[in-house]
Structure 1
Amino acid sequence: MTDKNEIINNDKKNYRPNVAAIVLSAKYPHQCEIFIASRTDVENAWQFPQGGIDDGESAKDALFRELEEEIGTREIEIIAEYPQWVSYDFPPAIAKKMHPYDGQIQKYYLVKLKKGAKINIATDVPEFSEYKFVPTKNIYDYITFFKRTVYKQVLKYFKNEGYI
């Protein structure tokens, strides 16, 4: 496990350690559709499920916990893991809300819903107001601007590796 202090204090910026999941529908590999959801707290901001890593928690444990908290299931199979941590900075309006963090540093996982898994975004503390599965080529029609660079990097890697 990477030292959390190493992650947080990357490049003199204070990054929040985080996991993110690119969730493929249970139809994968026959059909490649990716889950995206619209945030409840930022208008028209679509994203992948993601969330902070708690103290003493591994990235994989955080992945399963966050998926259950955000989309109501941990019924997934991990297909692949992005080999590095990737970071992005928050835009100023979001940085104010996320103080003391300047952005997030994330470990990305490509996962597939297990057959019969049910999505439920009406969780205890809903983070999403709606969701959909979209073809990879349509992701950028929805994704919020400040996450696009990281999403492109990660999706390109999984595509080049033959996963999507």
Structure 2
Amino acid sequence: MDLPYRDLPYRRCVGAVLFNQDGRVLVARRADLPNAEGAPGGWQLPQGGIDAGEDPAVAIFRELAEEIGTGKAEILAEHPNWLNYDLPPELLGKALGGRFRGQTQRWFALRFLGTDDEIRLDLDPHPEFDAWRWARLAELPSLAVGFKRAIYETLARDFARFAGP
């Protein structure tokens, strides 16, 4: 039985705004999200689900290790609010296993303590990303897919104090 959109729950997850020593933020390109020309596209911040009973501050390091191959970071701040997004209608029933209307996310600002060569997208047998780069924090909203743009605007504003060297 299909639930109406409004009755679907949000998936709980964490997200990382990972700053390097220069105050730039790690963004990664989704391997499964082509751009208008059919080439890989869809830049985003590392994020992922929170396991049952898992503390968000633990989940963020697990997700970093899974998605970028390293959890060498320290937490600078935790956003005080859970930030939600709804999937667009064309993704309902498809994305997130078809069981969720979107995600409710706990975001962390972190300082990367490793070196660039420790960032490895190829360690997971099914990598989510195929490329990464350091970007200016102010770029985040323009890189985000439309339904995540408001969250990225909030993060760019609320974590701006960490964007300097």
What TM-score, normalized by structure 2, do the two folds share? Answer: 0.83
SS in 2 for 1:55: coil
| 1:102 matched residue in structure 2 | 101
Partners of 2:102 and 2:157 lie apart in 1 by 22
Matched, 1:18 2:13: yes
In the alignment, structure 1 segments of 5+ residues that lack a partner are 1-10
Q: Which amino acid aligns with 2:99?
A: P
TM-superposed CA distance for 1:151, in Å, is: 0.9
TM-superposed CA distance for 1:41, in Å, is: 1.3
Moved over 3 A (4+): none
Partners of 2:114 and 2:127 lie apart in 1 by 24
What TM-score, normalized by structure 1, do the two folds share? Answer: 0.83
| 1:142 matched residue in structure 2 | 143
What percentage of residue pairs aligned between the two structures are identical?
Answer: 34
TM-superposed CA distance for 1:90, in Å, is: 1.1
The structure-2 alpha-carbon separation of the partners of 1:153 and 1:140, relative to structure 1 and needing over 3 Å to count, comes to closer
TM-superposed CA distance for 1:127, in Å, is: 0.4
The structure-2 alpha-carbon separation of the partners of 1:106 and 1:131, relative to structure 1 and needing over 3 Å to count, comes to same
SS in 2 for 1:96: coil
Matched, 1:32 2:32: no
In the alignment, structure 2 segments of 5+ residues that lack a partner are 1-5, 35-40
Partners of 1:47 and 1:94 lie apart in 2 by 17
| 1:163 matched residue in structure 2 | 162
Q: Which amino acid aligns with 2:111?
A: K
